[in-house]
Chains A and B, each alone.
Chain A
Amino acid sequence: EAGVAQSPRYKIIEKRQSVAFWCNPISGHATLYWYQQILGQGPKLLIQFQNNGVVDDSQLPKDRFSAERLKGVDSTLKIQPAKLEDSAVYLCASSLDPWTASYEQYFGPGTRLTVT
């Protein structure tokens, strides 16, 4: 089966610019996650969707970050305006196979963002 797809793989922008990341989860997976991983640290959950509804966005900096999953399938994460401290890898993951009711997460390759 196809894995979690993310694009772009790399992005370099200047501070105060905007950027968007795209994620397509594994087919049939109801739950979609966006994580931020700063170099040397573990992934930090930004937002979790169940179908097209938000389950948890408590750690999403809502003044500059936004995310949507309009049709309950693919998702976009946007940063506007970007700050230097947003430089990180942005990981998308999906889980909950309705056939097996399993909750293990499958991660995409990530998007490496560099803000200069």
Chain B
Amino acid sequence: DAKTTQPPSMDCAEGRAANLPCNHSTISGNEYVYWYRQIHSQGPQYIIHGLKNNETNEMASLIITEDRKSSTLILPHATLRDTAVYYCIVRVNTNAGKSTFGDGTTLTVKP
């Protein structure tokens, strides 16, 4: 499975959009981009995933570039509760698909 690169930390003002980038330049054509977040002392929580089209759900939006080498997770109106470590991973959607977590981006939402 391809690996990802994320900035180690980011800050965001409460109420503003948080845009978290992820580079996955070696992604294969059948690999999906998944985002998870981990709030302190909890297990990671699934946010969203996509293959090549932009995706949106009640938590966030996922923008994948046309060449699929990078993506951006957007939290449209960040709140203090969105402070967490955000992980971007790529994997195939098969039973043998493996999720390789990096060290993620620590997002701090400030009042």
B43 and A56 form a contact (CB under 8 A): no
Contacting residues, chain A, for B104 (C-beta < 8 A): 42
Contact B101 A104 (CB under 8 A): no
Q: Is there an interface contact between B43 and A109, defined as CB atoms closer than 8 Å?
A: yes
Q: Among A56, A106, A107, A109, which residue has the most Cβ atoms of chain B within 10 A?
A: A107
Closest CB of chain B to A85's CB: distance in Å?
Answer: 18
Q: How large is the interface on B (under 10, 10 to 19, 20 to 34, 35 or more residues)?
A: 20 to 34
Please tell me which one of the listed residues A30, A40, A103, A106 contacts residue B91 in the complex, with CB atoms under 8 A apart. A103
Task: Take A103-B91, A104-B49 as given contacts and tell me if A45 and B43 are in contact as well, using a CB distance cutoff of 8 Å.
Answer: no
A107 & B45 in contact (Cβ 8 Å cutoff): yes
Q: Which residues of B contact A104 (CB under 8 A)?
A: 34, 46, 49
B34 contact set on A, CB distance < 8 A = 104
**Contact flags (1/0) for B23-63 with A, using CB distance below 8 Å?**
00000000010101000001111100100000000000000
Q: Which residues of A contact B45 (CB under 8 A)?
A: 107
Q: Are B43 and A30 in contact (CB under 8 A)?
A: no
